[in-house]
A and B are shown apart, each in its own frame.
Chain A
C-alpha cells in the first residue's frame, strides 16, 4: 500500500454552512474542519440533518450559504457510504467490488484482500443478491478499502450490522485515521473508537 502523501492543512473544510430543506433550517453558519488523522462523529436525533450535512460535505447538496473545499480542488478525494448499498444483486460479490475498484481507481488493497478484511471472502463468487443486509453493508465497507481516498464520509455505517460489525467499522475508522485519513461519521449508535475523535451534535429540528 502506498504511503499517504504529507497531509495538507485540512482534508476537508466546510465553512459557514447553512442549509434549509423544505423551509426548515437544518444547520446555520456551521463550520466543519477535518484535518489529517481526525475523526469527527456527528450525532443527533433523526431528522436533525446528519445525512444532509454529509451530503453537503460531499458536494451533493448545495448549501444556501457557505462553501465546501477539499484538499485538492476538483480531484475526487472522498468515499461516501450511505443508505444506498450501490450493490447490483445480479453481479457476483467480486464483480461488484471490482467495478467500484475500477471506478474509484485501484489505489487501495486488492479486492480479495478487502473481502477477507470485511469477512466476505467465502462469498466472492456468489451473487450479491444472496447476501444478508449485514453482509451487503460489509461489501460497502470493502469498497472503502479497494480505493484509497483521504476523506471518508460515513452515514450510519453500522446500520444492520451486529456488534462484531460495529467493531469492524470502528477498527477501519481507527486504521484510516492512523494512516492520515480523515473520517466524518454520522451515527446514533455508540462506536467503540480508540482513535482521538471529536463530536458534533446537531440539534433537534426547529
Chain B
C-alpha cells in the first residue's frame, strides 16, 4: 500500500513542480468548449441544449491528448524498467499511475467545468449533473487510456496512435455520459451503466496495460 501511495505522491509532486501540464490541459478543455459558439452561433437556447455534449467532447479530447504522458517519462528515464521489479506487481503500479493520472487530468476538468457552464448557458441543475457524470465517467476514460498509452510506449512517435486506438473503445462512455445528464432523478439507467463501465474498466484495464508494458519491454 505504501508503494502505491509513493507512486501517486511522486507523480503529483512532479506535476506540482513542473506546473504547466495540468494547466495546459485545462486551458485546452476550456478552449475547445469556448470555440463551439463560434462554429454554431451564439444562440443561448441552442447552446444550452448542446452544452452537455460539448463539455463531454471537450473532456474526451483533453483526456485522449494527455494520454501519451502516462508512461512516457517513466519509460524514457528507465523508471518503468525498474518498476517491473518493485515489491508490488506491475498491475498495482499501473493502477497507482491510473489514479495519479486521473487526479492530474480529469479532476482539473471538473474543477474548470463552471467556466464552460457559464459560457455555454448551462443551468445549475444541468451543471451538477454534468459534474457527477464527469466524475463517474472519466475514470473509465483514464483506465482505457492506460492500455492505449501502454501499447504505444515503445514507439517513439506513438503520440497520435493511442487516441486513435482508444477513441472507438470509449464511445460507450460518451454515450452514457451524455445521456446521464438531464435524465429524470431516480430512473437514471445511463448513470448506472456509466458507473458499471467505469468500475469494470478500472478493475480490468491495469491487467491489460501491465501485460502490454511487459510486452513493450521485450
Contact = CB atoms under 8 A, between A and B. Distances in A.
Interface of A: 58-62, 76, 78-80, 82-88, 90-91, 95, 99-100, 102-105
B13 to A, nearest CB: 7
Interface string B126-167: 000000000000000000000000000000000000000000
Residue with the greatest number of chain B CB neighbours at <10 A, chosen from A61, A79, A99: A99
Contacts of A105: 87
A86 B7 CA distance: 13
Given A85-B77, A87-B77, A103 B83 contact: yes
Nearest to A153: B85
Contact of B10 (A82, A83, A85, A88): A88
A75 to B, nearest CB: 9
A104 B85 contact: yes
B79 interface: yes
B151 to A, nearest CB: 17
Nearest to B214: A60
A53 to B, nearest CB: 14
Given A76-B86, A88-B10, 14 more contacts: A61-B217, A80-B81, A80-B82, A82-B78, A83-B78, A84-B76, A84-B77, A86-B79, A90-B17, A91-B10, A91-B17, A102-B6, A103-B88, A104-B87
Interface of B: 2-3, 6-7, 10, 13-14, 17-18, 76-79, 81-88, 217-218
B85 A80 contact: yes
Nearest to B73: A88
Residue with the greatest number of chain A CB neighbours at <10 A, chosen from B3, B10, B76, B88: B10
Contacts of A58: 85
- Pairs A-B, 7 closest by C-beta atoms: A84-B78, A102-B6, A105-B87, A103-B86, A86-B79, A86-B78, A90-B17
Contacts of A84: 76-79, 81-82
A89 to B, nearest CB: 8
A104 B3 CA distance: 8
A62 B218 contact: yes
Nearest to A77: B85
Given A91-B14, A99-B10, A76 B79 contact: no
A87 B78 CA distance: 8
Contacts of B84: 59-60
Contacts of A87: 77
A86 B85 CA distance: 13
A88 B218 contact: no
Given A88-B10, A91-B14, A103-B6, A76 B81 contact: no
A84 B77 CA distance: 5
B81 to A, nearest CB: 6
Nearest to B9: A99
A21 B19 CA distance: 41
B182 to A, nearest CB: 43
